[in-house]
Amino acid sequence: MSDVKKIATRESYGNALAELGAEHKEVVVLDADLAAATKTGVFKKAFPERFIDCGIAESNMMGVAAGLAATGLVPFASSFAMFAAGRAFEQVRNSIGYPNLNVKIGATHAGISVGEDGATHQCNEDIALMRTIPGMVVISPADDVEAKAAVKAAYEHQGPVYLRFGRLAVPVINDRPDYKFELGKGVVLREGKDLTIIATGLPVSNCLEAAEKLAADGIDAKVINIHTIKPLDEELVVAAAKETGKVVTVEEHSVIGGLGSAVCDVLAEKAPTKVLKIGINDTFGESGPAVELIKKYGLDTDSIYQKIKEFSK
């Protein structure tokens, strides 16, 4: 996909916020001294009076966001995933989740592809954390088109939403007229009968490429993009499992508590199926170039292809 347009979903987040702010005066944006990195600076430049820099105080920022939401405003609280989901977990749970306030959390720099910032900043646990909060919607868009649609959908949804964005530029794969984003609904990107690949976020484009390589080996893989991990599109997951008999989940997140776990929870109850979970295998990351880390931790096209090929035997 070298000739395909690439853009980081954190860039999409910043651009979408600015567009949303122009249409809706009740939208306010909070950041924790990372506006240049989270790209909320785009909104700040356009609407400085509706932007609050809370400083390096993420837990306090979530409390401020909760207060603003209680007055009828729609706050987007932004920081790196490690801080938004990790450092501020208690405030997100108790101040936003428990009272079910209309706060949107924009978490950038998620996953191993943060790169050189290293293990401390490579949050591979955020989906697991946010899934456990009652009423929290969890979204992990795959590209620029989906990220912008996700921000709009988050605004339109009444209640707390966690949005996961990446630092690394990823291919635009949803740039087509028939693309439709709907909360809680997965998207079938490729039909297939031999097995189903269910992916979210950054690896979705790699899964499409892996499916093409598998096709050359005579393995017909169905590919599903799950942008909303909670609520999960259980109907689509169960139908695909029954149709193909084998399921592979792929995510730039720990294999514990993320998309793979969500899919397995559903299938164990409704359609017991053999599942292979591809993701970060109960380990911390390390510092290094993002593309090299993705390869080392088995999330590049070739690694996904080899694992699925072996699993399909």
Residues in the chain with pLDDT values less than 70: 1-2
Q: Which of 58, 125, 146, 234 is catalytic?
A: 58
Query: Taking the CA atoms of the chain, what radius of gyration do you get in angstroms?
Result: 19
Tally of residues, the chain:
313
What angle is formed at CA 125 by the lines to CA 119 and CA 130, rounded to 5 degrees? 145
Q: What is the pLDDT of residue 2?
A: 54
Examine the residue annotation and report whether 58 is marked as an active-site residue of this protein.
Answer: yes
Phi–psi pair at 199, nearest 5 degrees:
-130, 160
Q: What is the pLDDT of residue 313?
A: 87
Pick the CATH number of 6-171 from 3.30.70.890, 3.40.50.970, 3.30.390.30, 3.40.630.30: 3.40.50.970
Q: What is the pLDDT of residue 99?
A: 98
Largest CA distance in the chain: 59
Q: Where are the alpha helices (H) located in the chain, listed in sequence order?
A: 9-23, 35-38, 41-46, 58-70, 81, 89-91, 126-131, 144-156, 204-216, 234-244, 259-270, 290-296, 301-311
Q: What is the pLDDT of residue 78?
A: 98
User: For residue 183, what is the DSSP state?
Assistant: T
DSSP for 66-124 reads HHHHHTT-EEEEEEEHIIIIIITHHHIIIIIITTT---EEEEESBSGGGGGG-TTT-BS
Please tell me if the domain spanning 6-171 has the same topology as the one spanning 187-311: yes
pTM: 0.97
Q: Where are the domains of the chain?
A: 6-171, 187-311
Say whether domain 187-311 belongs to CATH 3.40.50.920.
Answer: yes
3-state DSSP call for residue 30?
A: strand
Residue 101 in contact with residue 95, Cβ under 8 Å? yes
Question: What is the pairing mode between strands 161-164 and 137-139?
Answer: parallel
